[in-house]
Amino acid sequence: MTVYVNMDDFERAKGMIFPRNVLLGHDILGQVVDVCDDFKFPKTGLIVTGDTTYKAAGRTVQQYMEDAKYNIHVHMTEDSTFANADNIVAAAKETGAKFILAVGGGSKIDLSKIASKKLKIPFISVPTSGAHDGIASGRASMKSDVGPLSVDAVVPLAIVADTHVISKSPYRLLASGCADVISNLTAVMDWEFARRLKNEEFSRSAEALSRYSSETIIENSKLIRPNFEESVWIAMRPIIISGVTMSIAGSSRPTSGAEHMFSHALDIMHPGTALHGEQCGVGAIMMMYLHGGNWMKIRNALEDIGAPVDAKGLGLGPEAIIDALAEAHKVRNDRFTILGDRGLSRETAETVARTTMVI
């Protein structure tokens, strides 16, 4: 039998944008200048940073850039709110900045992503901690009156991650970043679940890289510990790769499932109690149980790293976990996960949390 296919009917297209240069290593802040030179940036730029991160790396980056005859302005900012992003846009316009250097943790990088998109100018990610995989992604987590919002932004043109600088940041941040990446394991299971039941668009390459980043952290969990720069080296590569998977997929699907919805529910009910990655790690333990997978593997890896594995570790009581787990399915109606459309009853949520030793 001969099958005739009209190739003229095929109109599918997809774009993927990745960081063009990723530098990771010891004492490499000075290479920010080389990256700017390689991209032939104009001579006027804006450093977006905060009080602590300016002292940790921003001042050094500013000095390197000024020594190389760049006209660099510094904008101090705080939380990742849309108002602060607008302030960065205004500062860039006022100073005539043609590029942004985001020197800081997650909020400074997320704000720079938004400002960069609005201004249509490039930005370079210079992380001072490894708190989550947003270092390399084109998504920004922004605060709002209804809780955190994940919004489309831009991918950094380059990443300059100095392991010495990051190793000096509070270890809790790195442990949280590792927990965030470990939680990819349940995110991709949710994604596969949605592909089977809802025929959701799926990327096997994004899924494979996301799973690889998680497994790399888990396999090396006993080597990731405080005051050890090599731990940063081990952790930052999969953290960066995890962020890149979102560019491949065109969404946060390979890194965000029911465990993130649980985390967002906690953010709404108990804002500021624990870190994002910490909450996602605990959520992943319970979601892996619901998937029928090896939840102890996740729990053990989190314990090795020193990340929370239960309500007490998150600074919460049992009721907070049960409430968030029962309400998590309402956080994103557009994302089908193991929680289904109706979620879990409080009784089931309590059983899951107790069985997995989260409460």
Tens digits of residue pLDDT in 230-271: 999 999 999 999 999 999 999 999 999 999 999 999 999 999
Task: Give residue 155's pLDDT.
Answer: 93
pLDDT, tens digit (0-9, with 9 covering 90-100), for 48-70: 999 999 999 999 999 999 999 99
Q: Are 259 and 284 in contact (CB under 8 A)?
A: yes
pLDDT-based confidence at 148, cuts 50/70/90?
confident
Mean pLDDT of the chain: 94
Looking at the predicted structure, is the pLDDT value of residue 175 above 90?
Answer: yes
- DSSP-derived secondary structure for 12-79: --------SEEEEETT-TTHHHHHHHHTT--SEEEEEE-HHHIIIIIHHHHHHHHHTT-EEEEEE--S
What is the C-alpha separation between 97 and 75, in angstroms, rounded?
A: 11
Model pLDDT, residue 13: 64
Q: Which range, of 4-18, 201-215, 233-247, 323-337, averages the lowest pLDDT?
A: 4-18
Q: What is the pLDDT of residue 55?
A: 97
Q: Are 22 and 240 in contact (CB under 8 A)?
A: yes
What is the C-alpha separation between 102 and 129, in angstroms, rounded?
A: 12
Q: Which two tokens mark 132?
A: 């989550």
Of the given ranges (116-125, 126-135, 147-156, 267-276), which has the lowest mean pLDDT? 147-156
Q: For 254, which DSSP code?
A: G
46 and 123 Cβ atoms separated by less than 8 Å: no
Question: What is the mean predicted confidence (pLDDT) over 125-129?
Answer: 96
Q: Is the dihedral of CA 93, 106, 269, 315 positive or negative?
A: negative
Q: Per residue in 12-38, pLDDT tens? A: 666 677 889 999 999 999 999 999 999
**Pseudo-torsion of CA 351, 310, 151, 216, nearest 10°?**
-110
Global pTM?
A: 0.92
According to the model, what pLDDT value does residue 150 have?
83
pLDDT at 146: 72
Hey, what's the torsion of the CAs at 149, 151, 156, 159, to 10 degrees? 30
Confidence of residue 11 (pLDDT cuts 50, 70, 90): low
Residue 143 pLDDT: 84
- Residue 132 has a pLDDT of 81
Which range (24-38, 141-155, 231-245, 292-306) has the least confidence?
A: 141-155
3-state secondary structure of 2: coil
